[in-house]
Structure 1
Amino acid sequence: MNTVFDQALWAVGRGSGVVAIVLLTLSVLLGIGVRSGRTVVGIPRFAVTLVHRNVSLFSLLFVVVHIVSLLLDPFAQLRLVDFFVPFLGAYKPFWLGLGTIAFDLLIVVTITALLRNRIGPKMFKAVHWLVYAMWPVSVLHAIGNGTNGRDAWFLVLAGSCVIAVAGAIAWRLHEDFVEYRNVRRQETR
């Protein structure tokens, strides 16, 4: 029997997943902007760093809301293990498994970000590179497993996110991109 509560859980699960993708995209864009050492849209680097951290934590919050609402939703028929061990789900196990991998990577990146001062900058940076795997895997999960994953509006949204991140990555890989530490060295000379 489909109750109003079940429908609400399903709607919250879908909506929080969409918001999480947008916030994760924004977090990746801000993270790349922070590494440049330059102001981003006129905002000083320290402010961009704070916004990046807050957006990252909000994206984690929306991912957790996404997971908990779908765990409680009887239609989704998910088990707790489905969120930590990939490819075990009963419904679309491959696409659900991609979401599980993205979630696991997000947890690792978040923990190391919170422990940044204890683990040191080299370890933090090495683990933080996992974002470049986590983000596209989460987008693929959303397209393949999401209720609206193949709807035109969502494909436009996902495509816009992909174009934005691809552009930012291209900028980061371009020879004119200057890492923050290099900017700081030039300023002290």
Structure 2
Amino acid sequence: MLDNVMWAFGRASGVVALVLLTASVVIGIVTRSGRPLPVIPRFSVQLIHRTIALTSTVFVLLHVGTLLLDSYAKLTLSDILVPFLSAAKNPVWVGFGTVALDLLIAVIVTALLRNRIGTRAFKAVHWATYLLWPVSLAHAIGSGTNGTSGWFLVLAGFCTLAVAAAVLWRLTPRFEEAATLQEASRNSLRRPDGGSR
């Protein structure tokens, strides 16, 4: 009975983590646009992005931790940390989950050390979320018990459409226009000697 509960919770927490990760990626793309959102102040959007990202991380940890303790999944510590070495039923798909977890750890560590490593290093590693998200989606579809069921494929389709729409929006000329204006505004606040007013 307990194993059934653990297995169900492991699956559910994985689905919730994917939805939250999708929301975090979409909001992350939106916050980089430099354009304000209707009704929501810019600082609130950053706070929402951070909160959703942290909540998705909690659900990833619940997902991994539950399956680590589940006697049916039989995952080991190396299965969740070293990609593609799992003796599980679907080692490639489990490996994608491991890659996603490793990327998530890298993003979290650099976020926590942002003040020490600098913004440039943080941003360079933070770009890994653009790889983290599709790898997580592939893991969910390939190794999830419900990965190919109709309801999950519809959910995965909505997640894919949301991220694709955000990326396409970011690639529009209006985004470039807003980024150029934002950069010009920052440059106008700098003194000729490189300082700020």
In structure 2, C-alpha distance between the alignment counterparts of 1:105 and 1:116, rounded to whole Å: 16
Give the CA deviation at 1:109.
0.7
In structure 2, C-alpha distance between the alignment counterparts of 1:161 and 1:171, rounded to whole Å: 15
Between the two proteins, the alignment pairs up a number of residues equal to 186
| Structure 2 letter corresponding to 1:122 | R
The answer to whether residue 26 in structure 2 is matched with residue 26 in structure 1 is: no
Give the CA deviation at 1:183.
2.0
| Structure 1 letter corresponding to 2:15 | V
Correspondence for 1:161 among 156, 159, 162:
159
Aligned to 2:32: 35
Q: Quick one: structure 1 residues 184 and 47, their matched pair in 2 at CA, closer, same or farther if it must change by over 3 Å?
A: farther
Give the CA deviation at 1:180.
5.8
In structure 1, C-alpha distance between the alignment counterparts of 2:179 and 2:111, rounded to whole Å: 18
Aligned to 1:176: 174
- Aligned CA-pair RMSD: 1.6
In structure 1, C-alpha distance between the alignment counterparts of 2:148 and 2:183, rounded to whole Å: 45
| Secondary structure of the corresponding residue to residue 33 of structure 1 | helix
- Structure 1: 4+ residue segments shifted above 4 A: 178-182
Q: Is the 8 A contact 1:36 1:180 kept in 2?
A: yes
What TM-score do you get using the length of structure 2 for normalisation?
A: 0.89
The answer to whether residue 118 in structure 2 is matched with residue 120 in structure 1 is: yes
Q: Quick one: structure 1 residues 104 and 181, their matched pair in 2 at CA, closer, same or farther if it must change by over 3 Å?
A: farther
Deviation track 1:135-189 (CA, whole Å, cap 9, x = no partner) reads 0000000000000000000000001000110111111122211466842643885
Q: Is the 8 A contact 1:27 1:56 kept in 2?
A: yes
Q: Is the 8 A contact 1:37 1:181 kept in 2?
A: no
In structure 2, C-alpha distance between the alignment counterparts of 1:180 and 1:112, rounded to whole Å: 25
In structure 2, C-alpha distance between the alignment counterparts of 1:188 and 1:87, rounded to whole Å: 47
Aligned to 2:96: 98
Q: Is the 8 A contact 1:38 1:44 kept in 2?
A: no
Give ranges in structure 1 of 5+ residues lacking alignment.
none
What TM-score do you get using the length of structure 1 for normalisation?
A: 0.93
In structure 1, C-alpha distance between the alignment counterparts of 2:8 and 2:138, rounded to whole Å: 20
In structure 2, C-alpha distance between the alignment counterparts of 1:6 and 1:39, rounded to whole Å: 47
Correspondence for 1:147 among 145, 148, 153:
145
Deviation track 1:9-54 (CA, whole Å, cap 9, x = no partner) reads 0011000000000000000011011111222242111110011111
Deviation track 1:64-91 (CA, whole Å, cap 9, x = no partner) reads 0000100000000110111110111122
In structure 2, C-alpha distance between the alignment counterparts of 1:165 and 1:107, rounded to whole Å: 21
The answer to whether residue 45 in structure 2 is matched with residue 48 in structure 1 is: yes
In structure 2, C-alpha distance between the alignment counterparts of 1:133 and 1:40, rounded to whole Å: 26
In structure 1, C-alpha distance between the alignment counterparts of 2:187 and 2:99, rounded to whole Å: 42
Highest CA radius of gyration, 1 or 2?
2
Aligned to 1:62: 59
Q: Quick one: structure 1 residues 143 and 188, their matched pair in 2 at CA, closer, same or farther if it must change by over 3 Å?
A: same
| Secondary structure of the corresponding residue to residue 8 of structure 2 | helix
